[in-house]
């Protein structure tokens, strides 16, 4: 239907033949055709009060050109071309775990309002670098895949941790005001144990300390909110919005 309609628009001179797909000019024609608002076919600048930042797009998608875009549904991988979208764009076709992590990211985290650079993703990446993966484990992955980028190699654990930390049921339990600090320390330890790669020279206690501190802080916010009868909000990580009623 789209190609037939566009052919008719071009035939009538409403859509120039030179207008390519995915351009502002083409989107403007479609908005006018459907009497749609100016925001149609555009990416919102904010997602749950967090800016959707401009970022470099896959150079294979842009036919070699340097381009930027707001891509709230993407993590760090172009799945179509199997390219890592970090500072240096590198192929990751040899790393099935990285590709699988990207699919898991897209299947859940954008729907929870989490972007590739959301605070929880940054925290998860910090936990991976701090202790979920050791130098020996990174070297083994690099040898198996031919990929030397440590951030890319740790992406599977980063996504797993971010998904766990944004699960409403987990947050409701782990930050419940009536739980003790010991409970939260144990919950953080259990979470890290399910994600950390066993063996090697990793130091998972570093990640555990970071997660424990986060849970303690969110619990304090919920406790204060319950005392005041006010909504519990956490602008730093924006995680408490994922709990159905964080005052309970």
What's the mean per-residue pLDDT of the chain?
86
Q: What does the domain layout of the chain look like in residue ranges?
A: 1-42, 95-242
35 vs 17, 29, 32, 75, 143, CA distance in Å?
A: 22, 10, 5, 33, 55
Q: Is the pLDDT of residue 21 over 70?
A: no
Mean local confidence (pLDDT), 5-27: 56
pLDDT in tens, 132-167: 999 999 999 999 999 999 999 999 999 999 999 999
Neighbours of 68 (CB within 10 A): 11
Residue 8's pLDDT is 59
| Residue 100 confidence (pLDDT) | 98
State the pLDDT confidence band at 101, using cuts at 50, 70 and 90.
Answer: very high
For residues 235-246, average pLDDT: 86
pLDDT at 41 over 50: no
Q: Are 201 and 136 a contacting pair, CB within 8 Å? A: yes
Question: 45-66, pLDDT tens digit by residue?
Answer: 666 667 777 888 899 998 888 8
Predicted pLDDT of residue 178: 94
Contact 70, 54 (CB under 8 A): yes
């Amino acid at each position: 239907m789209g190609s037939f309609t566009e052919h008719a628009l071009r035939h009538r001179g409403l859509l120039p033949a030179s207008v390519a797909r995915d351009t502002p000019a083409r989107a403007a024609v479609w908005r006018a055709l459907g009497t749609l608002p100016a925001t149609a076919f555009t990416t919102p600048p904010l997602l749950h009060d967090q800016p959707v930042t401009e970022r470099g797009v896959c150079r294979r998608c842009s036919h070699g050109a340097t381009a930027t875009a707001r891509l709230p549904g993407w993590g760090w991988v172009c799945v179509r071309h199997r390219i890592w979208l970090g500072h240096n764009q590198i192929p990751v076709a040899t790393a099935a775990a990285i590709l699988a992590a990207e699919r898991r990211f897209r299947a859940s985290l954008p729907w929870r309002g989490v972007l590739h650079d959301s605070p929880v993703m940054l925290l998860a990446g910090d936990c991976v670098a701090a202790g979920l993966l050791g130098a020996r484990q990174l070297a083994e992955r690099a040898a198996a895949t031919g990929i030397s980028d440590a951030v890319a190699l740790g992406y599977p654990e980063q996504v797993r941790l971010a998904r766990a930390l944004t699960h409403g049921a987990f947050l409701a339990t782990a930050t419940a005001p009536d739980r003790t600090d010991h409970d939260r320390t144990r919950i953080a330890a259990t979470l890290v144990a399910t994600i950390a790669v066993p063996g090697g020279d990793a130091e998972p206690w570093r990640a555990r300390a970071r997660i424990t501190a986060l849970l303690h802080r969110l619990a304090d916010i919920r406790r204060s909110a319950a005392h005041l009868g006010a909504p519990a909000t956490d602008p730093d990580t924006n995680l408490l919005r994922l709990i159905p009623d964080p005052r309970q």
